[in-house]
């Protein structure tokens, strides 16, 4: 992971790339602004960003104009020789974690950071908004923990262990929850 001259590239994956991975991309680009550049994609991208995700992100003062649901082929070497070299790939949904992924440029470290799908929430608008807010808080907590890691002080095995630990954190572990 030679990253001395560029931010580390992080790809967040979810099946439809419409909510969780989009939110993770936004959070990482804010929390890790100088050290990380985040992207998101889906194995079967819906082509549409979930309107509840957009509303939440706008409410939290994120720029949403350029957000789009995209297929992970944009980031695979086989389909895009210009794809950014990836340092980390995180799956944020259980379906994407079980799928066979493309070959990514670079030798990215990966971990599964499963988050319940807020787009599956039912009930009132308030209940649906709460599901999105909970997913956001859990992603924000994990990404904040990730950004605080002393990357240069950890060997690959130690870093992998920490990435896996972060994926097991829950909202109950978040002091802001």
For residue 36, give the nearest of 76, 74, 87 by alpha carbon.
Answer: 87
Instruction: Name every residue whose Cβ is closer than 8 Å to that of residue 57 and which is 6 or more positions away in sequence.
Output: 22, 23, 26, 64, 67
Specify burial of residue 149 (Cβ count, 10 A radius: 0-12, 13-18, 19+): middle
Give the domains, in start order, of the chain with CATH numbers: 8-171 (3.40.50.2300)
C-alpha to C-alpha distance for 71 and 161, rounded to whole angstroms: 28
Digits of tens for pLDDT over the chain (177 positions)? 444 568 999 999 999 999 999 999 999 999 999 899 999 999 899 999 999 999 999 999 999 999 999 999 999 888 888 899 999 999 998 765 556 667 777 889 999 999 999 999 999 999 999 999 999 999 999 999 999 999 999 999 999 999 999 999 876 555 544
**H-state helical runs in 9-86:** 20-31, 51-59
Under a CB-based contact definition with an 8 Å cutoff, are residues 24 and 12 in contact?
A: yes
Residue 168 tokens read as: 């097991």
């Amino acid at each position: 992971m030679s990253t001395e001259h560029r931010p580390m590239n992080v790809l967040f994956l979810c099946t439809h790339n419409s909510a969780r991975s989009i939110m993770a991309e936004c959070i990482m680009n804010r929390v890790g602004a100088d050290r990380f550049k985040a992207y998101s994609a889906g194995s079967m991208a819906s082509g549409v960003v979930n309107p509840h995700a957009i509303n939440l992100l706008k409410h939290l003062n994120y720029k949403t104009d350029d957000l789009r649901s995209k297929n992970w082929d944009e980031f695979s070497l086989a389909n895009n020789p210009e794809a950014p070299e990836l340092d980390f790939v995180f799956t944020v949904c259980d379906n994407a974690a079980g799928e066979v992924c493309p070959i990514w440029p670079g030798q990215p470290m990966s971990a599964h950071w499963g988050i319940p799908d807020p787009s599956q929430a039912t009930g009132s608008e308030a209940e649906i908004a709460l599901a999105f807010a909970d997913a956001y808080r859990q992603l924000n907590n994990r990404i904040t923990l990730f950004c605080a890691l002393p990357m240069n002080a950890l060997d690959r095995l130690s870093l992998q262990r920490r990435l896996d630990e972060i994926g097991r954190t829950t909202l109950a572990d978040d002091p802001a929850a």
